[in-house]
Amino acid sequence: MFPLYLEPATTKSVRRASAFLNCLFYKDSGICPLKTRQRTYSIVGHTSSDSHLGSIHSTPFFMFSRVGQFSHYYIHDTMKSTIEEKGKIMKTIFTFTPPDDLKQDLFNSFPNENFSFYQDIQHAEQELSNAEVLVTYGEDLTDKHIQLADQLKWIMVTSAGLEKMPLQAIKEKGILVTNARGIHKIPMAEFTLGLILQFAKQFPVMQKQQKEQVWKKGLPIFELSGQTILIVGAGAIGSEIARLAKAFGMKTIGVNSSGEKRDYFDEMLMLDSMNEGLGAADFIVNILPSTSQTKHFYQKHHFENMKNTAVFINIGRGDAVKTEVLIEVLQEKMIAHAILDVFEEEPLPEEHPIWSMDNVTITPHISSNTNLYLPRAFEILKHNYRTYTNKQEDFLNVINVEKGY
């Protein structure tokens, strides 16, 4: 008998199985060949006629687990139940539980693969040693988990940020890392333009006046047309912001590490030469990732180079600017306003002085929120899964673990 996934059971009751495993037993014959990409199991056993697999009135019992801790089957005693292994199966573990429709889509797209879903990394630890592929949001992994996963070949991160990943341990083991870069561009661009419009059109003031039943027309409203927006981090998100900004007639300046031309930007600058852009910009949008090179990137002199009417928007990472520097800039009113979706410390403590500043708009790290977040991430996952299983090279969003992006 092949012992993997088998363990003694002491109860006569059988949990109702998930729809994914309904094929394991045929009610009449009690026999089901379970085929996978690289392994075939032949499972022979007597089952009750209950449509939910009911109870098996024989002992000893054994449990066969196919979908993590949630779906269990009990197999008849060792004399009548055998599992024969041929080849090797690829195990894919999720450290979160996606919606049922996305799981079903995976089962339909890859019917011969083995997926296990866990509510978090702690519940997944027992199976990490079997994982060849790991799907995670990226903030839960530690060096310990990488060491436990001694068969791990590929990590798919269903987010863009990698600053909390144990990249050194991953590098040492030569593990492929891909992420969901690009899926945030639409929600984050819409979020950014929405906040820019809110500031330009004085919507919060109007809402306040409505609550106070005040009719006042003399508000300092201005147009976006002709304004200049400087986008620091001219990748997928930055390009989408620039595209929308162009629709409003704004001039767009992009900043990246190379100064390479990107679509929808009127002008491109390199990071080390962005000061000239700071002085021309009416809106400065930070989308830099968090790396050793970008941590505390913005210094006081950057804000001194901005117009005193400028608006600084941070939807990238909170550690791009030191909190103390930001407070000083706002207290001295070096710029007109700051729109902050990210902070060095999150959640922002209740007693934090930024809460009470009237030249700040605070949002709780939600610029990328959308009902289409996971569906878009799973499209990238499925593309890369086909690439991986077919031993091809056209992976999307391969991460340079040295650079962290």
Scored b (16 or more CB within 10 A) or e, 364-401 reads eeebbebeebbebbbebbeebbebbeeeeeebebebeb
- Tens digits of residue pLDDT in 282-324: 999 999 988 888 999 999 999 999 999 999 999 999 999 999 9
Q: How far apart are CA 31 and CA 47, in angstroms?
A: 9
CB distance 340 to 361 below 8 Å: yes
CB distance 301 to 274 below 8 Å: no
Q: What is the mean pLDDT of residues 144-170?
A: 93
Which tokens go with 14? 């059988």
CATH superfamily of 91-182+373-389: NAD(P)-binding Rossmann-like Domain (3.40.50.720)
Q: How far apart are CA 313 and CA 392, in angstroms?
A: 40
Residue 88 — pLDDT band, cuts 50, 70, 90?
Answer: low
The pTM of this model reads 0.74
- Tens digits of residue pLDDT in 365-398: 999 999 999 999 999 999 999 999 999 999 999 9
Q: Catalytic residue among 365, 376, 386, 393, which?
A: 365
Sheet holding 71-75, edge to edge: 6-9, 61-67, 71-75
Per the DSSP assignment, residues forming a β-bridge with 87 are 39
- DSSP secondary structure, 67-114, as one string: ETTTEEEEE--TTT------B-PPEEEESS---HHHHHHHHHH-TTSE
* Pairing mode, strands 311-314 and 251-256: unpaired
Per the listing, tokens 């022979």 go with: 44
Same fold across 91-182+373-389 and 185-362:
yes
Q: Catalytic residue among 145, 317, 337, 376, which?
A: 317
346 is catalytic: yes
Q: Is the pLDDT of residue 63 over 60?
A: no
Of 253, 264, 192, the closest CA to residue 227 belongs to 253
Q: How far apart are CA 314 and CA 361, in angstroms?
A: 11
Of 184, 188, 190, 199, the closest CA to residue 367 belongs to 188
CB distance 260 to 268 below 8 Å: yes
**CA of 337: how far to CAs of 254, 284, 298, in Å?**
21, 11, 16
Q: Catalytic residue among 172, 223, 345, 346, which?
A: 346
C-alpha R_g of the chain: 27
Per-residue model confidence (pLDDT) at position 35: 39
Q: How far apart are CA 259 and CA 193, in angstroms?
A: 24
Q: Cis omega (within 30 of 0) on the bond before 347?
A: yes
Per the listing, tokens 């981090």 go with: 233
Per the DSSP assignment, residues forming a β-bridge with 45 are none
Q: Pick the most confident of 83-92, 220-229, 253-262, 270-279.
A: 220-229
Which residues are CB-contacts of 135 (< 8 A; sequence separation ≥ 6)?
92, 93, 94, 95, 96, 155, 156, 158, 381
For the chain, give every domain's residue range. 6-75, 91-182+373-389, 185-362
Residues in the chain: 405
CB distance 401 to 171 below 8 Å: yes
CATH class of 185-362: alpha beta
Q: What is the mean pLDDT of residues 216-230?
A: 97
Q: What is the mean pLDDT of residues 50-57?
A: 29
